[in-house]
Amino acid sequence: MRKVYKYVTLTTQGFLVLATGVMVVIVILEVVLRYGFNTGFSWSEELSRFLFIALSFIGASEALRRGQHVSVSIFIDMLPSGVKRKVRFIVRVFMVLFLLLFAYSSFLLLKKFHFQLAPALRISMAWPHSALFLGAILMLFQLLWVMLKGSNGEEDSKSLLKDEV
C-alpha cells in the first residue's frame, strides 16, 4: 500500500509541475505574441484556463496530503486530547462523505459534457471537467491514507508526511 501511495503522490506532483510549466510558457508566449507582434493563438487562453482548473482541483489533494488546507481549529485545540482525536475523526468522516458526493456529482457532469466541444481547442469538455472527478478521487485517497495512518498513532495530517515523500 505504501508503494501505491508513493506512486500516486509522485505522479500527482509530477503532473502539477508539468501543468504549471506548460501554463506559464503558454501565457508568457501569448503575452509576447499579442503585445510584441499583434498576433496570438486562439486556443491559449482556453488551455491555460483548463490547466488552472486542473491545478486547482488536483493540487487540492497535494494540499490535503501536506495538511495545508485552511481550517479553523481554535475550539478543537481547546479540547482534551481524547476528545480532540474523536472530533477530528468525525470531521474526517464528514469530509469522506462530502468527497464521495463530490466525486459522484462530478462523474455525472462528465457524462453530460462528453459530447460538448470546447470552442477553441475542439476537445470534449469531459477532459477539463475530469479534473473535478480526479481531484475528488485523489483527495479521497489522501484523506483515507491520513485516516489509516492516524489509527497507527499519527493523528495530525500536518505531522503525517514529514518523513514521507
Q: What is the residue extent of each domain of the chain?
A: 2-155
Residues in the chain with pLDDT values less than 50: 151-163
The residues that bridge with 54 in the sheet, in sequence order, are none
* Structure confidence at residue 59 (pLDDT): 96
Which is nearest to 9 in space by CA: 160, 135, 142, 123?
142
* Structure confidence at residue 150 (pLDDT): 62
The whole model's pTM is what? 0.84
Which is nearest to 143 in space by CA: 55, 51, 53, 69?
69
Long-range CB pairs of 82-87, under 8 A, 24+ apart, other chains included: 85/155
* Structure confidence at residue 161 (pLDDT): 45
The residues that bridge with 117 in the sheet, in sequence order, are 124
What is the distance between the alpha carbons of residues 136 and 142, in angstroms, rounded to a whole number? 10
DSSP 122: -
